[in-house]
Amino acid sequence: MAEPAPALVRKLSRFAAMEARERAALEALLDRPVAFPARTELFYEGERDCAAYVIAEGWVYSYKEVEDGGRQVVNFQLPGDFVGLRGMLLGVCDHASATLTGCRLVAIDRDRWERLLTDFPRLGQAVLWAVAHDESMLVEHLVNIGRRSAYMRTAYLLCEFGHRLRVLGQCQGNEFVCPVGQAILADALGLSVVHLNRTLRKLREHGLVVVRGNSLRVTDFQALVEATGFAGDYLR
Amino acid sequence: MAEPAPALVRKLSRFAAMEARERAALEALLDRPVAFPARTELFYEGERDCAAYVIAEGWVYSYKEVEDGGRQVVNFQLPGDFVGLRGMLLGVCDHASATLTGCRLVAIDRDRWERLLTDFPRLGQAVLWAVAHDESMLVEHLVNIGRRSAYMRTAYLLCEFGHRLRVLGQCQGNEFVCPVGQAILADALGLSVVHLNRTLRKLREHGLVVVRGNSLRVTDFQALVEATGFAGDYLR
DNA sequence: CGAATCGTTGAGGTCGCTCAATCATAGTGG
DNA sequence: CCACTATGATTGAGCGACCTCAACGATTCG
């Protein structure tokens, strides 16, 4: 193992205590992540028998394109998250995915994966739990886009990032960096780039965020949480 | 068994051929659906250890409520679909669900369910596939709300209904009925009731739908599909 | 230093919202 | 059978959030 405890292992451990054998088997599969540069397309919508990945390091985003040229970012994946699992299960990708930052990813071999889950059914349970958890975030994203104003919507998404990063230990104090450009953020929030920019300006004026180069720094996570009433129940 | 082949059995059979023993075990669990009147709340957001159901007959919808009193309908469930499976897995419901029409539902006993899946791992695979399929619909819903105009959005949702009903054999020719009131439809589409009403009027003027009493009749499914370019790939 | 990419800002238009009536339809008690 | 009520659909008027188009700044990179 390159690192002490892969993020996926830590994530699944939070769900159910893992025996040494289970842990070892999982870690064996997560060995040797391979590096991908930023902005690399991992697979496209409609692709068949596409690979699935687990993120060891970096940010990935998944999106769908729409008839009129628009694009909707469906979700963001962080270390320990699956990418393209649904595509592997269904045999066809219903969305595309690409790296946002430089990443280290582990490709999942379908057969080895299935063998792992049949050999260690409790791991299967844990994975099912992780999938349900992802779906929960998807639902929250849906609610966010469907029912909240641009300002709240943006603030909520940033709160989710903060929460997830904190769990990963990548948000120490009251600050964190989110390496997502405004174009992609806008596509995630169902907003135009221009309007997202104005929305960020308001957040900036309220002293909540700072824009710097190609990334966004949340400077007062606590205040953001209070402003939105973000509970994060759906993140357990 | 009350009926010849429960919708869930037929659904899972489309994924993988089912052996007689598997089928029998599954059917045993789906025995004795119980009747619920229309507009019955099945469980609420935040509820713990809530039941999950499989629909034998009728329509159910799932929703979340938002701080400011708004509501977002997350998805609609039809015969053969699961309701509240995620809540059962996570231990806490991240959404509420209620019947839309009168329904016949089978409550899932958690222990029996887990035993079924361990005794018949291939059923587990099939269920996982079904869950992935549901998630795919969720993603499409997200894209719909995030990136399409009110008109297209509405048309798309109706197309999805038509497609799903056709698979269930509840859309024979070019017509089908959707027993969803405008308030709920609006909450599903992220629109106000007023604007949804105006949107439906346009669809009516185009000869695509008819509103009658408390339900909506799509009169020209084919034309609707052509108007939207609805592919339904995500529905397999 | 030029080119490319991304962020920022202005001006003006529109889609969809809110508020507030009015119109069905069905159910209920007299 | 008829008010009477409740619920949901429909329509009008006015407004505002968000969009589009278009330009201009800032940063990065070869």
The rounded mean pLDDT for chain B is 93
Q: Is the CB of B170 under 7 A from strand D?
A: no
Contact at CB, A131 and B133, closer than 8 angstroms? no
H-helix or E-strand containing B156?
Answer: helix B150-167
Picking from A86, A138, A146, the nearest residue to B72 by CB comes out as A146
pLDDT of residue B204: 97
Percent over 70 (pLDDT), chain B: 98
Distance, Å, A214 CA → D29 C1': 14
Which residues 132-151 of chain A have a CB within 8 Å of chain B? 132-133, 135-136, 138-143, 145-148
Those nucleotides of strand D lying less than 7 Å from any protein Cβ are 8-13, 17-22, 27-28
Query: How would you write the pLDDT of chain A (236 residues) with one tens digit per residue?
Result: 445 578 999 999 988 888 999 999 999 999 899 999 999 999 999 999 999 999 999 999 999 999 998 999 999 999 999 999 999 999 999 999 999 999 999 999 999 998 998 889 889 889 999 999 999 999 999 999 999 999 999 999 999 999 999 999 999 889 999 999 999 999 999 999 999 999 999 999 999 999 988 899 999 999 999 999 998 888 77
Q: Are B76 and B100 in contact (CB under 8 A)?
A: yes
Burial-class residue B145 by CB neighbours within 10 Å (0-12, 13-18, 19+).
Answer: buried
Cα B137 from Cα B232, distance rounded (Å): 10
pTM, full prediction: 0.95
What 3-state DSSP class applies to B104?
strand
Q: Which nucleotide is nearest to B212 (CA to C1')?
A: D9
pLDDT tens for each residue of B154-173: 999 999 999 999 999 999 88
pLDDT of residue A1: 43
B61 bridge partner residues: B76, B98
Distance, Å, A40 CA → D29 C1': 18
Contact at CB, A145 and B142, closer than 8 angstroms? yes
Token pair belonging to A174: 């009251």
Determine the length of chain B: 236
Q: Which nucleotide is nearest to B199 (CA to C1')?
A: C16
